[in-house]
Amino acid sequence: MPTHRHHAPKTSASVKKRSNTKKSSKQPPTKNPARKRPAAVKAGGNPRAENQTRRNPKSTPKVAQKTTAKTTPKATQKTTSKTRTAKISTAKVTAPARAISPKTDEDTRQSFGVRHLVISASDDGQRVDNYLRKILPNVPKSRRYQMLRKGEVRLNKKRISADDRLTAGDVLRLPPTTIDEKAKHHIPRALIDKIQQSVLFNNGTYLVINKPAGFAVHAGTKTEFGVIDMVRAAYPDTPWELCHRLDKPTSGCLVFASNRDALRHFQMLSQSDGMTKSYLALVKGRWEVNHLIVDSPIEKIDTVDALETFTGDEKTAVSIFTTLETYKSTSLMQVVIKTGRTHQIRIHAARQEHPVAMDDKYGNFRWNRTLEKYGISRLFLHAHVIQFRSEDETIHVSAPLPEDLQRYIDQQR
């Protein structure tokens, strides 16, 4: 029978012995004799702490800090933390009180539901858009006209347009509106004084001022306040109403009425050719005419928030041009208008190939740049004279030419 050799199982001692044999076969790493460890490391210290001590002897090593923290009793640590908490709480008590925050946007808004207003006798004959401007002064102009287009505003339960007239006793329906009180802007005192100094006539019923150029008669999206707001701020005891309009760059006679009857009387005279409106305009070229009547219809222009749109509806427009003085390349004209269309004088002058000086809409742009060298920086159009009949007197007011325009005339003479 064959004999079988029984191998003894491998013990852990033999495994360890073999592993030691493998390890011994490897050579131990060589030590760098030039590299010496600092004494603090040999003694169990921290090399960073020793370097820090060498650089700054006054600073305390981290080892010492750790040792101090370990040797400090727990009771002492708790007491120190309580003391720090007490100091923090004291700082909160002595801090200044928080200022009261201003009103938010929601606090300055006032909302109204559907309203039905009865037209009074004082508002009889007023245009719908002008009445809406009066009762909704802080609502944007674009929103007011949107109400009319969508039929949200109704007169006696019927749709209306902006140029319809109101009658005493009518019932006007207003949709829900939100009025922002922030729209009431503060008017500087300097502008109020300027308006008071520009008064040309005031008999308690009618007020005529020499409107400064660069101010719109009404407030808008890009205009915080208009001339009408400045007049009311200058004379708060009288509810002045605007009788007619002047373009923003135009200066000269502007009329206000203190009551609805006077306003209706002025508007009636305007429509029946019962008043005289005379302008001074500087035009391009030598234009020698005597009483030239320009009867040319003008397409109606609607202005909403400084955006002008042509409606396609042409209106009759009549202007009478008369030459006062001629210069080397310009002419000073007197223009009497029989109708009051938007931009009437500027359009009629441009159609005659004699545009108004510094007219950036209908004028000659290259010529305008040349005029700037002579000190003219705005439209040369001035409402010079207005004359109309009021009860027992004839009101005749003349506004002198502003200094910047008069300076150019003096240079050319």
CATH of the domain at 122: 3.10.290.10
* Domain carrying residue 271: 189-412
Q: Which of 131, 163, 183 is the last residue of a domain?
A: 183
Same domain for 148 and 205, yes or no, is: no
Together in a domain, 174 and 213: no
pLDDT digits (tens, 9 = 90+) for 254-276: 999 999 889 989 989 988 888 99
Digit-coded pLDDT (tens) for 8-63: 455 444 444 444 444 444 455 555 544 555 444 444 555 554 454 455 545 444 44
Instruction: Tell me how many domains the chain contains.
Output: 2
- From 183, 217, 247, give the residue that closes a domain: 183
In terms of domains, do 122 and 215 share one? no
Determine phi and psi for 295, rounding to 5 degrees.
-110, 90
Q: Do 343 and 285 share a domain, yes or no?
A: yes
Query: Are 242 and 216 contacting, i.e. CB atoms less than 8 angstroms apart?
Result: no
Q: Give the pair of three-digit tokens for residue 302.
A: 């609607």
- Secondary structure letter of residue 199 according to DSSP: E
106-115, 239-248, 369-378: which range is least confident on average? 106-115
Q: Catalytic positions, please?
A: 247
Q: Beginning with the edge strand found earlier in the chain, give each strand of the sheet holding 158-159 in spatial order.
A: 115-118, 171-174, 154-155, 158-159
Residue 248 placed within a domain: yes
Flag whether pLDDT at 373 surpasses 50. Answer: yes
User: Which pLDDT does position 394 carry in this prediction?
Assistant: 93
Q: Domain end: 183, 204, 219, which one?
A: 183
Give φ, ψ of 126 to 5 degrees: -80, 145
Rounded to whole angstroms, the Cα distance separating 147 from 142 reads 9
Q: Look up the CATH number of the domain holding residue 257.
A: 3.30.2350.10
Question: Strand, coil or helix: what is 288?
Answer: coil
